[in-house]
């Protein structure tokens, strides 16, 4: 883990209500998947190139027709206002200053339009297919109007995973955060939190439905298999995010690091493939990008950065990751991310201890 990220997590843990810290940190079940994520990236080994001119290392990547200056992306995460009073507005102000794309969760605790106004860089909107689908439609339309560049449809959450760690001290998210984007669309008399629950009956048809409603490309997030990725592509997905939701959904699901190659094979270069889960350093990102990912998302470390130091902390964390990646790219003999390829990676190795 990058040392700054470790320091920010310590500061966040010291300052946050322990129930909020646990809610953010938790995985589902016994946390097998949540706890494996970081080690899974470390199990790969590198085959560096030599005598390449690496005096000028650039981190730019192309994604859905846009040029990004960094391959680090802020993962969509719920309720940033539990970490910092400015919530997602601070996160998105900080992310753009580091050149990072950010993805806004459907469970944002600040209004979509306010986050868009505070954002200093490009952003996408994460959607859940909610039981009241009109709510999802209203949110993706608002996101498109506010400037979102894409919709990220999270597909690994037909029901919210059971998190053993937090069941004793369940945090209750106040209505002014939970309903901040929903209240205006609720049908009078409906039970807000039920209408806004994830719809467990969704099928791939929802992909083209949301593309049509929003007018935006739709990426699917939460895919761990090549065959499932191909099924989403057949239904119109414009990209795939390999993710197990930070180990918060199906415990004992495969680490993303080990699922990535199969998804890349299923996608066969037709659309961008992003990955998240346990990315904590430049080397973790280098492995993911060399295996073939187009970009990497970072989750919990940015909540810790936000809690510890607000927008400036988010910028600092993303800058530190970018600087770390620039360094290891150079040492591995790659001046551009496009210079990386899967021949530079071997593994995963079996644990030796």
Q: Which residues in this chain contact ligand FMN in the complex, by CB under 6 A?
A: 24, 37, 75-78, 105, 107, 126, 154, 221, 243, 245-246, 248, 276-279, 298-300
CB of 77 to ligand FMN, least distance (A): 4
Catalytic residue chosen out of the listed positions 137, 185, 245, 327: 245
185 is catalytic: no
Q: CA 20, CA 43: separation in Å to the nearest integer?
A: 31
DSSP 300-345: HHHHHHHHHHHHHHHHHHHHHHHHHHHHHHHHHT-SBGGG--GGGE
CB of 133 to ligand FMN, least distance (A): 17
Nearest CB to ligand FMN, comparing residues 244 and 315: 244
Q: Which two tokens stand for residue 285?
A: 């990102």
Nearest CB to ligand FMN, comparing residues 94 and 299: 299
CB of 78 to ligand FMN, least distance (A): 4
SS3 110: coil
Which is nearest to 88 in space by CA: 106, 107, 108? Answer: 108
Q: Indicate the burial class of 205 (C-beta count within 10 angstroms; 0-12, 13-18, 19 or more).
A: exposed
**SS (HEC) of 77-91:** CCCHHHCCCCHHHHH
In the bound state, the residue with its beta carbon closest to ligand FMN is: 299
Nearest CB to ligand FMN, comparing residues 292 and 299: 299
CB of 325 to ligand FMN, least distance (A): 15
Nearest CB to ligand FMN, comparing residues 220 and 344: 220
Nearest CB to ligand FMN, comparing residues 239 and 333: 239
CB of 279 to ligand FMN, least distance (A): 6
234 and 205 Cβ atoms separated by less than 8 Å = no
Nearest CB to ligand FMN, comparing residues 75 and 232: 75
Q: CA 90, CA 107: separation in Å to the nearest integer?
A: 16
SS3 114: helix
CB atoms near residue 200 (< 10 Å): 10
Please compute, for residue 238, the number of CA atoms within 13 A of its CA located in the half-sphere on the CB side.
17
Q: Which two tokens stand for residue 45?
A: 């080994």
Q: What does the radius of gyration of the chain's CA atoms come to, in whole angstroms?
A: 19
CB of 121 to ligand FMN, least distance (A): 18
Strand partners, 295: 274
Active site residues: 245
């Amino acid at each position: 883990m990058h040392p700054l990220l470790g320091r920010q997590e310590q500061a966040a843990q010291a300052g946050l209500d322990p129930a909020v810290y646990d809610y953010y940190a938790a995985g589902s079940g016994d946390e097998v998947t949540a706890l494996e994520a970081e080690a899974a990236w470390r199990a790969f080994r590198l085959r560096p190139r030599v005598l390449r001119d690496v005096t000028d290392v650039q981190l730019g990547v192309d994604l859905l027709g846009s040029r990004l200056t960094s391959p680090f992306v802020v993962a969509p995460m719920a309720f940033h206002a539990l970490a910092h009073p400015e919530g997602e507005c601070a996160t998105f102000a900080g992310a753009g200053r580091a050149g990072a794309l950010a993805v806004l969760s459907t469970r944002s605790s600040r209004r979509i339009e306010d986050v868009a106004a505070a954002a200093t860089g490009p952003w996408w909107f994460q959607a859940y297919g909610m039981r009241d689908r009109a709510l999802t439609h209203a949110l993706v339309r608002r996101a498109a109007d506010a400037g979102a560049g894409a919709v990220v449809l999270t597909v690994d959450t037909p029901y919210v995973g059971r998190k053993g760690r937090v069941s004793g001290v369940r945090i209750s998210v106040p209505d002014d955060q939970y309903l901040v984007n929903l209240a205006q669309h609720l049908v009078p008399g409906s039970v807000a939190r039920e209408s806004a629950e994830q719809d467990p009956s969704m099928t791939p048809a929802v992909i083209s439905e949301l593309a049509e409603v929003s007018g935006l490309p739709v990426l699917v997030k939460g895919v761990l298999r090549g065959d499932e990725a191909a099924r989403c592509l057949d239904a119109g997905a414009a990209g795939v995010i390999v993710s197990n939701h930070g180990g918060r959904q199906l415990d004992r699901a495969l680490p993303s690091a080990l699922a990535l190659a199969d998804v890349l094979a299923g996608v066969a270069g037709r659309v961008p493939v992003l990955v998240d889960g346990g990315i904590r350093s430049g080397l973790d990102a280098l492995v993911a990008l060399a295996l073939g990912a187009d970009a990497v998302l970072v989750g919990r470390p940015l909540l810790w950065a936000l809690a510890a130091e607000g927008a400036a902390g988010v910028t600092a964390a993303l800058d530190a990751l970018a600087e770390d990646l620039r360094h290891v790219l150079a040492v591995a003999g790659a001046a551009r991310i496009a210079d990386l390829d899967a021949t530079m990676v071997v593994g995963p190795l079996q644990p030796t201890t």
